[in-house]
Structure 1
Amino acid sequence: MAQREPEIRRELFGRVGDTDVHRYVLAWPGGLTVRVLDLGGVVQSVEAPDRSGVPANVVLGFGSLDEYVKNNQPGGNRVFFGALVGRYANRIAGGRFSLDGVSYELPLNNGANTLHGGPDGFDTRVWSAAEVRSADAVGVRLSLTSPAGDSGFPGAVSVSVTYLLDGQNRLRVVYRATSDAPTVLSLTNHSYWNLAGEGSGDVYRQTLMLNARRFCAVDDALIPVGDPVSVEGGPFDFQVPTAIGERIDGEDPQLRIAGGYDHNWVLEPGPVAARACDPGSGRVLTVSTTEPGMQFYSGNFLTSDLVGTGGRAYGRGAGFALEAQRFPDSPNRPDFPSAVLRPGEVYEQETVFQLSTED
């Protein structure tokens, strides 16, 4: 029997106004199958085998285009399932920042703050898409031009994000951007993972390791305050694998503020930034990144009116997000790693999600 080849397939997923939205199916024989939308760069599904070889979709998402469009409406409980977010991932306090002595005002969409680029962020756009095929990967390259003043941000920015699937069950996300004027930029993918399978219940028994000795404490608006603090011995210590739900409802004030985990961890150098495991299925997710921070969000605000690709309702803790990023509110925090992009510079980062199994 002839060996099957890796596959790229483009499908019409629907229309937004007069614009076609397509879904790209990336499939590696015996490995992962990944579905990506050109709307928002959404990773709609990732099918991965368990320890017995039985595949299941391990990311949260919606089954129809209408549901994605509905979730993007301003004023709603936007959950960013699988989306590429920008121009600035996470929160900017007060929706304002200064750069080179010039102040910029951004639209607010998270109380008094700007979250994930505002109400018309990159997750709401239909990106240009091109198939990518090499000797060791198949993928799709998404491109977008964000004009100067887009959502209040300075500079015309050209962005490309490439999803690459290979035979090692790795989904690589490669980001590149340039700007014609000084600006700030932080991009990430906002997939929610449930290694037991999408819609199977909460993730609280799944374990997580974060290669971080410090995290950013936050105020009531989830904006970092003060210097990063030690995780040692407390509920934010994931230096060794720990069940996500083991301490999530404790009395720590930081847990109370966020309703669980929704904080930035300061990553230590090393090949692995995070590792999660589902004991039941044996599935393991390993994340590596070039970024300095990792936002771990435990799905605290997911609600049962969200119905996923499998037709099952979600709810609190139905998935967890691991968002590789520059730190929240970095444009207002010169002590944080810089998020400034200047003309002649290239914004480059890569984050890799690898699926495997253990006994």
Structure 2
Amino acid sequence: MMIETTEVLGKWKEFTLINDTKMSVSVLNYGGIITKINVPDRDGNIENVALGFKDYRDYEANPPFLGALIGRVAGRIQGSSFELNGESYPLEANDGENHLHGGSKGFHQVIWDVTPFQNDVNVGLTLTHKSADGEGGYPGNVEVKVTYTLNNENQLSLFYEATSDQTTPLTLTNHCYFNLSGDLKTTVQDHHVTIDSQQFVELDEELIPTGAKPQVEGTTFDFRLGRRLGDGFNDEYQQNKIAGNGYDHYFIFDDNKEQQAVVREPNSGRVMSVKTNQPGMVMYTGNSLDDQMQLAEATSQKYLGVCFETQASPASLHHEGFPDVRLNAGEKYEKETVFTFGIE
């Protein structure tokens, strides 16, 4: 096992974690961005399964948030404001009238302090950042630590820790776009996904939760027994159409199964499982990916990747009965998501 470090653009560092089975994960200190995940297919071909830019300068703006750490709050906050303890907090409107992924200066724009580590069983990186009271419009001085760990079982763990001296909304995630075909050979329409969820969060035309949590049964949102992602791309179901003919929705986990989600790609034989102690996740199928972006292996296009953004729900700031994003003063935020890569 080893860690390689390279300078990028004279101002960032890229750390590459490599295990003994030749799986590797590359991460920038800028935005905590995962730039590449190289894993074998059923024939032993090692290929990249994460979307990344060909030109690293494109990470500076990174409108699709490729591979980035997201905070303070992952997802959209309705009306770019929230109330906490009777006080109203206005936020930047960076997605129409709404606030998205912590704003334009969110954690995806931060240069994190990074400490590499390795031992007999894993290699990893500890990323830390102090977010000052009022940063992005949010209350509280927040100390954040995110640990990326790769082991020899081809498991990539993201462990998120945070504390705040004031009660504040906080839910962190990573916005990696996965494509298990390898080196972007095809879109994700034939990816077969299973999700342990019987309820999802309904969206309005601005992709803001309405407050309703429909049952998945009888819809293209029923992934309990598994289905092709492409089932929802051309479906007439209104919730698919609202999201740009795909998925951009929060699924509430039932926690009946050991893994909350499993993804299979039939041609490569690659399988990725998602295990987390988060209460749900947004599954986003790249419905708005710009067809002008130059990615490492191909020009970007709609449906070229799928995100599994494990997190709580920002809808909890405006509606009752949703997984809560509030972190109380002095409380410890501890969440982990493990992506396990295999073949079949």
TM-score, length-normalised on structure 2?
0.97
| 1:82-111 deviation digits (Å, cap 9, x = unpaired) | 000000000000010011111100001111
**Which of 214, 221, 224 does residue 239 from structure 1 map onto?**
224
Q: Give distance in 1, aligned partners of 2:140 and 2:100.
A: 19
Q: Does 1:60 align with 2:51?
A: yes
Q: Give distance in 2, aligned partners of 1:356 and 1:129.
A: 28
**Which of 26, 40, 56 does residue 17 from structure 2 map onto?**
26
> Does the CA contact (< 8 Å) of 1:264 and 1:328 recur in 2?
no
Superposed displacement of residue 250, structure 1: 1.1
Q: Give distance in 1, aligned partners of 2:173 and 2:3.
A: 23
> Does the CA contact (< 8 Å) of 1:199 and 1:308 recur in 2?
no
User: 1:12 — aligned with what?
Assistant: 7
Q: Give distance in 2, aligned partners of 1:95 and 1:188.
A: 19
User: 1:198 — aligned with what?
Assistant: 183
Superposed, which structure 2 residues align to 1:182-261 within 5 Å?
182-259=167-244, 260-261=246-247
**Which of 329, 333, 339 does residue 353 from structure 1 map onto?**
339
Superposed, which structure 2 residues align to 1:1-359 within 5 Å?
6-15=1-10, 20-71=11-62, 78-259=63-244, 260-269=246-255, 270-310=257-297, 312-358=298-344
The aligned amino acid for 2:295 is G
* Aligned-pair Cα RMSD in Å: 1.1
Gaps of 5+ in 2: none
Gaps of 5+ in 1: 1-5, 72-77
Superposed displacement of residue 333, structure 1: 2.4
Superposed displacement of residue 228, structure 1: 1.1
Superposed displacement of residue 334, structure 1: 3.5
Q: Give distance in 1, aligned partners of 2:162 and 2:69.
A: 14
> Does the CA contact (< 8 Å) of 2:211 and 2:315 recur in 1?
no
Judge which range, 56-65 or 203-212, deviates more: 56-65
User: 1:75 — aligned with what?
Assistant: none
Q: Give distance in 1, aligned partners of 2:101 and 2:273.
A: 24
> Does the CA contact (< 8 Å) of 1:223 and 1:328 recur in 2?
no
Q: Give distance in 1, aligned partners of 2:59 and 2:99.
A: 20
Q: Give distance in 2, aligned partners of 1:211 and 1:266.
A: 8
Q: How many residues are matched?
A: 342
> Does the CA contact (< 8 Å) of 1:198 and 1:308 recur in 2?
no
Superposed displacement of residue 233, structure 1: 1.7
Query: Structure 1 residue runs of 4+, over 6 Å off?
Result: none
Superposed displacement of residue 237, structure 1: 0.6
Superposed displacement of residue 223, structure 1: 1.1
1:212 counterpart SS class: coil
TM-score, length-normalised on structure 1?
0.93
Identity, % of aligned pairs? 38
Superposed displacement of residue 130, structure 1: 0.3
Judge which range, 55-64 or 146-155, deviates more: 55-64
Superposed displacement of residue 30, structure 1: 1.7
| 1:267-313 deviation digits (Å, cap 9, x = unpaired) | 11132111011100000010011100110111100122111112x10
